[in-house]
Structure 1
Amino acid sequence: MPKVGRVGKFRSKAASSRNDVIQKSLSSTVPSKENEAETADLDRKELLSRGQKKRQAKREQYLKREKMVMSSLRLKRLEDQKGELDGMDSIKDALSTVSNKPLKNKGKEERINPDEKKTTAPIAKTNRSKQDLTSKEVSHLGLVLQHPAFKSNPFGTIQEHLKNTLSGQAEELEVLAEKKRKQNDVKKADRKEARKERLREAKYQQAKRAGKKGRK
């Protein structure tokens, strides 16, 4: 095996020391990502002039104010949505109150004839009548949307309209029920009178038969 000369040893030592120096320099010159970001921010701040720093501060304040405004708008939107839901709940309560309004009865509750429950709303049977009804309803809806009361308070206007409409229907049903009760009372009186008449006739016939037997 050949011997290693002094020149070879010197060259190998020089190469290893040179590699160590290169690695140390690379490790010292290559910072981490966080260090790079911090260094970049510091360099950017140091490079900014006084006017640029003022503009940057104003921009940061503007962004903060914008964030606060957006958060307040979001809260207001949530409150508006809550108010709309409350309005829908009040409409539901009004509907249930009017629909559950008891009819005035003297005696026990009586059923209304299904024919008498029909409302005055038009019933579309043909396509032509359906189209006419749809066009009328659309035009009526446009007038409602343009009404000042609806624009100022839509839910209150709808609630009042439903109250008036359903209360009118309830009054109509009450009138029909009262009419039906009167008719039933008349029928009951007629049946009662007919029953009394039958009893009188039966008693008369019984007395007549008894008289005939006594004469015999």
Structure 2
Amino acid sequence: MKRKLSKKLQFLSKLQETQSILATKKKISKKRHRSKKSVLNNLSSIAEVLPEIKEKTEKQFHLPKGSQAKARQKLVITEVKQLSMVLDHPRFKQNPFAAIHEHLKVSLDPVKEDPLKPLKDKRAEKQNKQRRRLAPVKMEE
């Protein structure tokens, strides 16, 4: 009887030790997790810098509006002339859809299929698989 009781006490003491160890490990991991989250959530310093960067980029890509307006005006004039010529054309007056179809047939080159394209695609897929396989795997802590 005493032996059983002593064994139970030993078991319970070991169980209590392991539970306390696990609890401390859990607390430590929670602290680490919180610290990582706090770093990600603390973006106020970045928010302060962003308006300055935005102003710099806006100044760099600013184009003069006068030249754009002139180019747009020239384009409108040429398109209006082209449209009036098309509308006055006798073939267009007879059958507009046939005229448009013929124009597209003449102006657009037919797309030629490359006979080696499927082979090139397969080769590219194999190379991508090899690159992914050889790329170092990043492990999270």
TM-score class, shorter-chain normalisation, is 0.3 to 0.5
The structure that has the greater radius of gyration is 1
In the superposition, the TM-score normalised over structure 2's length comes to 0.37
